[in-house]
Structure 1
Amino acid sequence: MGAITSLFVRKVVAAAGPGTDARNLLASVGLEADATVDPKVMIADTAYYDLIERIASETDITDLPLRTGASMRCDDYGALGLAFKAAPTLQGAFSRVERYARLWTNVVEYELRSEGNTVWFFLQRSGPRRLGLRISNEATLASAAAIAREVSTDGIFDPIEVHLQHAAPASTRAHEDYFGCPVHFGSDRDALLLSKDALARPNRLGDEGITQYLLGHLDQELASVESPKSIARRTRDVIARALSEGVPKMEDVARRLGMSVRSLHRKLSEDGLSFQSLTEETRKDLAVSLLKQEQYSIAEIAFLTGFSEQSAFTRAFKRWLGETPATFRKNS
């Protein structure tokens, strides 16, 4: 199960305003309103999305993610926030987020990707694109803008463009006013498009010595964090769930994982894997598991593993294990 720092929960509840019962909302996810804020206290991502959707049922949340993001400060993030402030440039600051995001969530990954004179800051979050997740993505990008403005020498930071995969709300005026640039909903990505010139500007509190000390501390923290499910395992999970609709394409799996095809290909390659080999392994392992369960007929198993015909499944299974599905079931 995914986890998100309780800091975000408290920020969302505070931003929701007087039209909601803050104490009750926090209690619904196991947090005490009067307790000391501790970013290391985590809650389930699904509980966080449930809470956002509960707020949406009680009040208009069009600008909730913007108000949430605007409330974020570097100091809220502990050592990571200090490292963000101490980075000599904004490029360095965003690089800290890319590397150390796992310290406050295991459901979001960030990627900086250069493109000509610009850099994409991608937000990649897996899971069904329910309302809570979509609002969380908006708030996350809004918070990135807020802390970038905090460390900028003149307090100004406006992306070139903002991209969000989900549909636009009835009005996007608040979003464009907040980000100071065009905001494209219904995009193929969740990301900020930044200029290299803006990223190269020195930070107001940049300090290389402090940066190196903090990075050493963050590396130790990162090493102590339990490793999230590997990208191979996450990819296999998505493939397995999709097989009953046919063999999924890589772009469809990448989208369900909340990342680009390029990122998925790169991450799998780093582990010496390919999408094709993972798909084949997933189909084989799923078939073996289902054949051990008598309630499924071989025809049903063929369908559940992405084959349109039982004969094609039989040929594939014989290639995998050297015997037919019927023989394997009989000998299991």
Structure 2
Amino acid sequence: MSQAAKPLSEGDIAACNVIPAFEASLLFGATEDELADQVGWCRTALLEPDARVSGASTYKHMELMFEKPRYAEFVVAAVRAYDVKSLGVVGLACKTMPNIGVAMACHARYQKLTNRTATYQTELRADGLHIREQRDAPRLGSELISDYTLLVAIRLLSLLSDAPIPVRAMYSRRARMPARERALYEETLGASVTTGSALAELVLDPSILAFGVRKADAEMESYFRGVLENALPMTDETPKLLVSAQAVIRDQLQQGAPTLSKVAQALGLGERTLQRRLSEFGLGFQALLDDTRKTLAEGYLKQPELTLAEVAYLLGFVEQASFFRAFRRWYGMTPQAYRMSI
């Protein structure tokens, strides 16, 4: 569910995510004592089972390395050290998916299990498939790690795919980037890097969605999906208001798109009260409706007896074309393509 970013805290990121950058740091001017004192990272602690670090520590780390003489080379080395297993169980699950589109959808659903510092949106537009990152921390380390994360994303897609990843452009939140750093990033991506963007963003060729995953395994995919679903927060841990509101939305969808007024009335609340209480969780009503539809769509498309027109109706869309547009916004592919891939 799309929510406003929370203050960075301990446990934001599984330590397996930062180990490649930790090791690369030692090759480009940092010492283990320096990383322990200034960042709070200790090798023995990072290697402990289920170890986690704070998002703030990753920003401190990038700021520390930015002051070293060969920062750009450090970033590229850390990216190249990344493997799918660096994402933990989520990465291993992605390796089993049938194609890149489904692997990206898998990562989007379960990413919060290993990294809560950013959110990602995928949108298919005229100029390509856009992957946007959202971070709220207004500091240099946040901007630096956004660039790093986009480079890592291409590295991981390349490891998963059975074909090269065609990158069209990268957009950085940083106002300026040294020429040497930009050149290294552009060489790594095979595409231009533009600074001064409001959001960190990649633009890819949409064809990647159909690229096969080289180690796809339907049996293991089913296993990992079960593991990851069980690892998601249980319903009773979700705020009761959100559970109740989603239940009302599900019940009302077959009568068309539920309105704020109707859902508030069913919950025994005023419209403004419902809006205010949803905002406490970083949500608006439209975002809650959208997230509920998205989750239901996944389940409906796994039922081959349902036509796409019936799925659209069950989701409260008056026109099938509206459902198609929403689905492409959610997953960067059509419902037919998604159904064929599962």
Normalising by the smaller structure, the TM-score range is 0.5 to 0.7
Paired position in structure 2 for 1:253: none
Rounded to whole Å, the distance in 1 between the matches of 2:231 and 2:122 is 22
Is residue 184 from structure 1 mapped to residue 194 from structure 2 by the alignment?
A: yes
Q: Do the aligned partners of residues 19 and 176 (structure 1) sit closer, same or farther apart at CA in structure 2, a change above 3 Å counting?
A: same
> Residue 115 of structure 2 aligns to a residue in which SS?
coil
The unaligned stretches of length 5 or more in structure 2 are 1-6, 243-281, 291-342
Question: Would the aligned equivalents of 2:97 and 2:221 in 1 still touch at CA under 8 Å?
Answer: yes
Name the amino acid aligned to 2:152.
S
Q: TM-score, normalised by structure 1?
A: 0.63
2:98 pairs with 1:88? yes
Return the index of the structure with the highest Cα Rg: 1
Query: For 1:6, which of 5, 15, 39 is the aligned residue?
Result: 15
TM-superposed deviation, 1:86: 0.9
Partners in 2 of 1:191 and 1:61 — Cα distance? 21
Q: Do the aligned partners of 1:95 and 1:112 also contact (CA within 8 Å) in 2?
A: no
Identity %: 21
Deviation at 1:41, TM superposition (A): 2.1
Provide the alpha-carbon RMSD of the alignment: 3.0
Question: Taking CA–CA contacts closer than 8 Å with sequence separation of 6 or more, which of the two structures ends up with the larger relative contact order?
Answer: 2
Matched, 1:207 2:207: no
1:32 corresponds to 2:42:
yes
Structure 1 segments unaligned to the other structure (5+ residues): 232-264, 274-332
CA distance in 2, matches of 1:42, 1:102: 13
Q: Does 1:218 align with 2:234?
A: no
Q: Deviations over 1:128-160 (max 9, x none)?
A: 1x1211111111111111111111214x22311
**1:35-184 equivalences in 2 (<5 Å):** 35=45, 37-38=47-48, 40-116=50-126, 118-128=128-138, 130-154=139-163, 156-171=164-179, 172-184=182-194
**Structure 1, residues 68-119: CA drift from partner, whole Å, max 9, x if none?**
2222111222221111111111111111221111112222111111224732
Evaluate the alpha carbon distance shift between residue 214 and residue 27 of structure 1 in structure 2; reply closer, same or farther with a 3 A threshold. farther
Please list, as runs of the form range in 1=range in 2, the aligned pairs for 1:257-296 lying within 5 A after superposition. Answer: 268-271=285-288
Using the alignment, how far apart are the partners of 2:128 and 2:136 within structure 1? 25
| CA distance in structure 1 between the aligned counterparts of 2:28 and 2:64, rounded to whole angstroms | 15
Alpha-carbon distance in 1 for matches of 2:127, 2:52: 38
Q: Which secondary structure state, in structure 2, belongs to the residue aligned with residue 111 of structure 1?
A: strand
SS in 1 for 2:120: strand
**Residue pair 1:5, 1:39 contacting (<8 A) in 2 also:** no
CA distance in 1, matches of 2:14, 2:41: 12
Q: Is the 8 A contact 1:27 1:33 kept in 2?
A: no
* Letter paired with 1:269: Q
CA change 1:227–1:194 in 2 (3 A) is farther
SS in 2 for 1:148: helix
Q: Distance in 2 between matches of 1:30 and 1:166?
A: 25
Q: 1:209 to 1:31 in 2, by over 3 A?
A: same
Contact 1:4 1:104 in 2 (8 A): yes
Asked if structure 1 preserves the Cα contact closer than 8 Å seen for 2:173 and 2:198, the reply is yes
CA distance in 2, matches of 1:117, 1:46: 34
Structure-2 change in CA distance of 1:54 and 1:39 (3 Å)? farther
Instruction: Give CA deviations for 1:242-274 in whole Å, capped at 9, x if unaligned.
Output: xxxxxxxxxxxxxxxxxxxxxxx995523479x
**CA 1:184–1:36: 2 relative to 1, 3 Å:** closer
Q: Which amino acid aligns with 1:4?
A: I
Q: C-alpha distance in 2, partners of 1:46/1:153?
A: 35
SS in 1 for 2:98: coil
